[in-house]
A and B are shown apart, each in its own frame.
Chain A
Amino acid sequence: MARQEAKKDVVIVGLGWTGAIAGIELAQEGLEIVALERGRDQATVPEFKYPDQIDELTWGVRLKNMQHPRRQTVTVRRNGDETALPLRALGSFLPADGVGGAGTHWNGLNWRPQPEEMRLLSHIRENWGDEIIPEGMSLGDYPVTYDELEPFFTRFEQVAGISGQAGNLNGQIQPGGNPFEGWRSTDYPMPPMPTTWDSHKFREAALAMGLHPFPAPAGIASTSYVNPYGMQMGPCNLCGFCERYGCYQYSKSSPQTAILDALKRHPNFSYRTHAEVLRVELAPDGRTATGVTYFDEEAQEEVFQPADIVILAAYQLNNVHLMMVSGLAEIYDPATDQGVLGKNYGYQMNGGATLFFRDEHFNPFVGHGSNGMCIDDYGMNRNDYGALGFIGGAYWRSGLTNGQPIRSMPLPSGTPSWGAGWKAGVGEWYGHAMSIGSHGSNMSYRANHLDLDPTYTDRHGRPLMRMTFDWQENDLRMNQYMKARVEEVAASMNPDIMQSSFKGPGARYDVRPYQTTHNTGGHIMSASPNEGVVNRYSQMWGQHNVFAMGAGNFVQNTQYNPTGLLGGLAYWTVDAIRSQYLSNPRPLV
């Protein structure tokens, strides 16, 4: 028999970016709110303090800041014919654990989607027709437009504290910014970060080839910063310990620097850590939720937390899993194309080139997660899909993020992986390499989806979620196109050695190397209940008092890192709750 807590107006599952946003905005309405966080409490000091955080082995390699698979993981297979096996140790992607969530350990790259990406299906139909869409690709338009979201992108950028250079201010193209970005109503809240030698070289090369380089939009403070909640960041010192680490310097945009201390001042907000939500409880008719049941780690017992509104703000994979084990929607079956939950799981298609310059010094440890110059000349809204033979695009970035030697040790191909040759190689080449990365789109497909695993269970006896995912020909073609373009630019820079790594025809999904933590879709937004799990306000079609945050809402992934879009969607969603839902709780569509 579960213990029962006093009823709240709102229960939030997960206290990362979107949970913190929901918490502080709804706290301003005077609602009684509790957030339930599976992991530990985390603050800049002591959890992320210097020098303890500057430990590549513990945090970068052993991944102790991350979700521990022992407590939660997925099974993976590449197609319906394989038997899925558990992801026993993290690799390809790194969901977080603890207060602040993945917002503590990201690189800080904060992009808005392109307007065309928000209406991708229409963009394709209008320009090339349905016939260029390959069999099995499952595309849609977001049921909300870029123009509607623009104020909320701006809001998130101001709260999060983003450094960058606008390329399109209210339709006016700005020199030095990204001329291909969607319009923005105001400039970035901070100027761009300084440019390191590698990104400077890339910028010069790109300009010489007629491309349009601009500084990466960085959730990294270039200056002292105060956000609209009075929260603060200090100028980044390019410590080179960004991704996988909490920032010891108050410099990386995170719930800790942007929201949490301001949120904790609201007496009507509270949060509990080591409280893992096991399921959303439904009213007998299944049309509303009555609250959530969580596992209280300290008491070692289940607790029912009743609430009028349930906000699912866990990581995308965990949000989808929670919906599945709670029976909130019908699970998608690719064989019949029926069901909606788990549909349109998306990821990212990346590649890159490494350029070795024997006599140049890049000091790779001088870096930050969002370092570098980018180009968007081969982005989603620039490519002629009909002529190129694929649907997709990529932005590129050149800028070293770290010089941590266990993992960041590019060596010319042919260098032995061990022995005297390896040792000579690390001595010869460390600090003499730079890279150009291509960060590309990965379309949605019927075959790539999420459901429940028939065999493996978690420590609470719940079935693990099963990921069925493999690379698809369209995206591999896109990647090969990027390879050719990247190599052109790289060659123009005359490196001593150049090598590239882009997945090509026949590539299979491999869970071992880190790729990105940009898992998207699964509880996608849709214009009608039979196409997706939530409506345009992230409100569940089936239960109007359940709202789902995060990248699970993405109809298909964009070519960019997802945080800017999911942050904007979070503010858009919470605005709808404040302005439309609270006064009259009901389905908003």
Chain B
Amino acid sequence: MLTFLRILTALALIGIVVLLALIFVPVRLTQPTEQLAADWQPDPGHGEQVFHASDCVACHTAPGGMELAGGRGIESPLGTIWSTNITPDPETGIGGMTMDEFRAVMLDGIGRDGRHLYPAMPYENYRLMTERDLRALYAYLMNEVEPVRHEVEPTSLTFPFNMRFGLRAWNWLALSHDAGFTPQGRSEVMDRGQYLVEGPGHCAACHSPRNIFMAQDGVQASDANFLTGGVVDGWNAPSLRGEGAAPQRWPVGELAAYLATGRNAFSTANGEMGLVVAHSMQHLPDGDIFAIAAFLKGMDGAPVEEETAFAPPGPIAIEKPQADQAGEATAAMLTEAEPGMPLGARLYLDNCVACHFASGRGADGIFPKLQGNTLVLGSETGPLLSVILYGANVPGTEKRPMELVMQGYADRLSDEEVAELATFLRQAWGNDAPPVTPAEAAAERENPRATHH
């Protein structure tokens, strides 16, 4: 949702051209994809499950604010987009909203007053949710969430972006897909995973690229570019498909561990993904987590290990991994600790080797691997520089409650040293990514990204 600024830019290109035509065409709302009896009631817990899977908290809770009471600001030079209060408070929240109005929000991006929502709201994806899940979510928000009276500042962007009807044109392009879910049908588990990924989980919002209109290029599994990687607010949201992608390299159990706990044998969830884990994934049932993992692993036909639940907690001891063939030379050089080594290596020994070790392969579940790490190797260098300068934080989760914090080195390293170190990390142990410049380090130091602590 934080790519919104770029969406707005694209909007500027298309919006004005079709402006007048838009005004006179009536809006048509999507109808329910399943006719349910008027007295249909969700099973207990169903709505909360959908709520967690949909990660409503992420946007609709302000930092330090009451849960779901809105007011989280998404900054842009055109103004701030403020998330709304979705507690059932009748005046400041969604208390008076009908199910039909709720469906219009979720499937069409159209608010109660008929105004188009900014597509920071991922209705492109929610459009795929089942009527049952929508009804359950509605019931949950209305009945199980405490109403909070909290007036949220209205979003007012500068012209022409305040002309919300311009969004209609964009929707014609972005909402070309039908509402409702179409399973691939490979297995019940993978279909469940597909549904969670495509619909409520709205993974494509970050992990699919954007087309020239800045709409998601790949909303459904049948789309060629679905989940092939995107860039969100200066973070690489890595591709989840193809040979080098994490779901193909990681066993299903490790993928599931990453989603549920923000940490596994390979990596840790930082930045936006850390928030997804904290707000959403850690609360999902094991079955859903493994379904997501199974789908991601198998969506292009790879064999999928049949795992459905996490091992009970410890004691679990896992040996620290040794350097592999690609990393041997770097590991040997670091281990020898000869004074003549290059500056980048020296900086690694003075600042990083403690946790990530000479192997560059860290330790399972706690110290991420730097070898082959998408954040280290990303086309966006900001996140890596940010971690070096300001540290990183993996939230505590239900199954792995310990908050993992890496301290930053802004006080200890100059821009030149940060660049040397980052370049070393991107080229050690067989890593192969272009060098980083001191100017990039300086820019990141000047404008630290939100680290979401």
Contacts of A226 in B (CB 8 A): 313-316, 365, 400
Q: How many residues of A contact B (CB 8 A)?
A: 36
Scoring A residues 154 to 197 as 1 if CB is less than 8 Å from chain B, else 0, what string do you get?
Answer: 00001001000000000000000000000000000111000000
Among B313, B318, B353, B401, point to the contact of A223 (Cβ < 8 A).
B318
Interface residues of A in 223-275 (CB under 8 A from B): 223-235, 237, 239, 248-250, 257, 261-262, 264-265
**B152: min CB distance to chain A, Å:** 27
Note all chain B residues with C-beta closer than 8 A to A225: 314-318
The answer, yes or no, to whether B4 is at the interface (CB within 8 Å) is no
Bound Cα distance from A248 to B320, whole angstroms: 18
Q: Total interface residues on B, using CB and 8 Å?
A: 30
Question: Would you list which residues of chain B between 322 and 367 have a CB under 8 Å from chain A?
Answer: 353-355, 357, 363-367
* A514 located at the interface, meaning its Cβ lies under 8 Å from any Cβ of chain B in the complex: no
Q: Does A50 make an interface contact (CB < 8 A)?
A: yes
With A45-B405, A234-B355 in contact, is A228–B317 under 8 Å at CB?
A: no
Task: Using known A-B contacts A191-B317, A228-B314, determine if residue A233 contacts B366 with beta carbons closer than 8 Å.
Answer: yes
Bound-complex Cα distance A235 to B354 (A): 9
Partner of B317, one of A43, A50, A224, A229: A224
A222 to B353, CA, bound (A): 16
Residue with the highest number of chain A CB atoms closer than 10 Å, among B318, B353, B354, B402: B402
Closest A-chain residue to B315, C-beta based?
A189
Given A44-B405, A50-B354, A239-B354, check contact A230 B315 (CB 8 Å). Answer: no
| Nearest-Cβ distance from residue A195 to partner chain B, whole angstroms | 16
Describe A's contact surface by its main secondary structure.
loop
Q: Are B404 and A230 in contact (CB under 8 A)?
A: no
CB distance from B118 to the nearest CB of A (A): 35
- Are the C-beta atoms of A223 and B402 separated by less than 8 Å? no
Complex CA distance for A104 and B369, rounded to whole angstroms = 27
A232 engages B318 (CB within 8 Å): no
Q: A45-B407, A46-B407 are in contact. Are A232 and B396 (CB under 8 A)?
A: no
Q: Is the CB of A237 within 8 A of B355?
A: yes
Q: A49-B407, A226-B316, A237-B357 are in contact. Are A231 and B363 (CB under 8 A)?
A: no
Contacting pair A228 B313 (CB below 8 A): yes
Is A284 positioned at the interface, with any CB of B under 8 Å from its CB? Answer: no
A156 CB, min distance to chain B CBs, angstroms: 12
Contact B363 A224 (CB under 8 A): yes
Q: How many angstroms from the CA of A248 to the CA of B407 in the assembled complex?
A: 10
Q: Could you tell me if B401 and A230 are in contact, using CB atoms closer than 8 angstroms?
A: yes
Alpha-carbon distance A249/B356, docked complex (angstroms): 11
Give the docked Cα–Cα distance between A230 and B316 (Å).
Answer: 9
Of A158, A189, A265, the contact of B396 (CB 8 Å cutoff): A265
Instruction: Answer whether residue A51 sits at the interface, using C-beta atoms and an 8 A cutoff.
Output: yes
Contacts of A190 in B (CB 8 A): 315, 317
Q: Which residue of A lies closest to B396 (CB)?
A: A261
Whether A230 pairs with B314 at a CB distance below 8 angstroms is yes
Q: Does B319 contact A (CB under 8 A)?
A: yes
Task: Check B357–A232 contact: CB distance below 8 A.
Answer: no
| Given known contacts A45-B406, A223-B318, A261-B396, A234 and B363 CB-to-CB distance under 8 angstroms | yes
B317 touches A189 (CB 8 A): yes
Choose among B313, B365, B403 the residue that contacts A229 (Cβ–Cβ < 8 A): B313
B401 neighbours in A (Cβ, 8 Å): 229-231, 261-262, 264-265
Instruction: Give Cα A224–Cα B314 distance, bound, in whole angstroms.
Output: 11
- Give Cα distance in the complex from A262 to B396, angstroms: 9
Closest chain B residue to A52, Cβ basis: B407
CB of B283 to closest CB in A, whole Å: 13
Q: Is B28 an interface residue (CB 8 A)?
A: no
Q: Are B355 and A224 in contact (CB under 8 A)?
A: no
Shortest CB-to-CB span from B404 to chain A, Å, is 7
Q: Are B314 and A189 in contact (CB under 8 A)?
A: yes
Shortest distance from the beta carbon of B400 to any chain A beta carbon, whole Å: 5
Given A234-B363, A234-B367, A237-B354, check contact A257 B402 (CB 8 Å). yes
Cα separation A216 to B66 with both chains bound (whole Å): 50
Most A-side CB within 10 Å, residue of B365, B400, B401 = B401
A158-B312 Cα distance, complex, nearest whole Å:
14
CB neighbours (8 Å) of B396 from chain A are: 261, 265
CB neighbours of A239 from chain B (8 A):
354
Are B365 and A223 touching (Cβ within 8 A)?
no
Q: With A49-B407, A191-B317, A225-B314 as known contacts, state yes or no: A232 contacts B355, CB within 8 Å.
A: no
| B407 proximity list for chain A (CB < 8 A) | 45-46, 49-50, 248
Residues of B within 8 A of A227 (CB): 313-315
- Residue pair A261, B402 in contact (C-beta under 8 Å): yes
Inter-chain contacts of B315 with A (CB < 8 A): 158, 161, 189-190, 225-228
Q: How far is the CA of A50 from the CA of B407 in the complex (A)?
A: 7
Measured between alpha carbons, how far is A182 from B281 in the docked complex, in Å? 45
Given A46-B407, A49-B407, A261-B401, A223:B319 Cβ within 8 A? yes
A51 close to B320 (CB less than 8 A): no
Q: How far is the CB of A222 from chain B (nearest CB, A)?
A: 8
State the CA gap A233–B398 with chains docked (Å).
17
Asked if B399 is at the interface of the complex by the 8 Å CB criterion, the answer is yes
Q: CA A190 – CA B364 in complex, angstroms?
A: 14
Q: Name the distance in Å between A169's Cβ and chain B's nearest Cβ.
A: 16
Minimum C-beta distance from A19 to chain B (A): 18
> In the complex, are the beta carbons of B366 and A223 less than 8 A apart?
no
Which residues of A are found within 8 Å of B319, using beta-carbon distances? Answer: 191, 223-224
Q: Are B366 and A250 in contact (CB under 8 A)?
A: yes
Contact A224 B320 (CB under 8 A): yes
Docked CA distance A230–B403 (Å): 11
B412 near A232 with CB under 8 A, answer no
**Which A residues are in CB contact (< 8 Å) with B353?**
237
Q: Which residues of B contact A262 (CB under 8 A)?
A: 401-402
Question: A265 contacts which chain B residues (CB < 8 A)?
Answer: 396, 398, 401
Chain B residues within CB distance 8 Å of chain A: 313-320, 353-355, 357, 363-367, 391, 396, 398-407, 412
Beyond contacts A224-B364, A233-B366: 6 other A-B pairs, Cβ-Cβ < 8 A, are: A50-B354, A223-B317, A224-B319, A224-B366, A226-B365, A227-B313
Can you show 12 pairs from A to B with CB atoms below 8 A apart?
A189-B317, A190-B315, A190-B317, A224-B363, A226-B400, A227-B313, A228-B314, A230-B399, A234-B367, A235-B320, A237-B353, A248-B407
Identify the 8 closest CB pairs spanning chains A and B, nearest first. A226-B314, A45-B405, A189-B315, A234-B366, A262-B401, A49-B407, A224-B364, A226-B316
